[in-house]
Amino acid sequence: MESTLQFQLRIGVSPELADALRSDPSCASQPALADLLRRYRATLKCQYDAFADYVSEAERLGTENYPLYQWTRQTIENPGKKAKYLQSFTIYIDGNEVYGKSIVDALEPELSGLIREDGIRSVSRFDTNPANNPQPPQR
């Protein structure tokens, strides 16, 4: 039986690959990665860009409805954290940021096979269990 938990994969990449992926989300410069993403109907989103989008949306629609606004804004304004999140990419499957365990179990080892110092440096698995994840800061 499939777990009720949902999962997410993220990759950590070299600064050079991060720049390439941010400027060309199709991953044309990385044919093995592009092929893998295509086979899983997957896309990449830079975590820094996702955070910046969240802050922009909150400022446009009203920060009171975005509980992580202040934390996220401080994160993207911190040079050390910005550098870290510019090199971290979330994998979306069919446009979803979380997905079933069977997909992660199949995709994770294939991504791990692409690890090298000048490209993908790490593959991380996350789940939706609140006990395994940091919780929003108290206001």
**pLDDT digit string, tens, across residues 34-65:** 999 999 999 999 999 999 999 999 999 999 99
Per-domain residue ranges of the chain: 7-132
Beta bridge partners of 42: 93
pLDDT computed for residue 25 by the predictor = 84
Q: What is d(CA 3, CA 59) in angstroms, rounded to the nearest whole number?
A: 36
Phi, then psi, of 125 in degrees rounded to 5: -110, 135
Q: What is the pTM of this model?
A: 0.91
Residues of the chain with pLDDT under 70: 1-3, 134-139
Contact 26, 93 (CB under 8 A): no
Count other C-beta atoms under 10 Å from residue 59's C-beta.
12
Which residues are bridge partners to 96 per DSSP? 93
The single-letter code of the amino acid at 95 is G
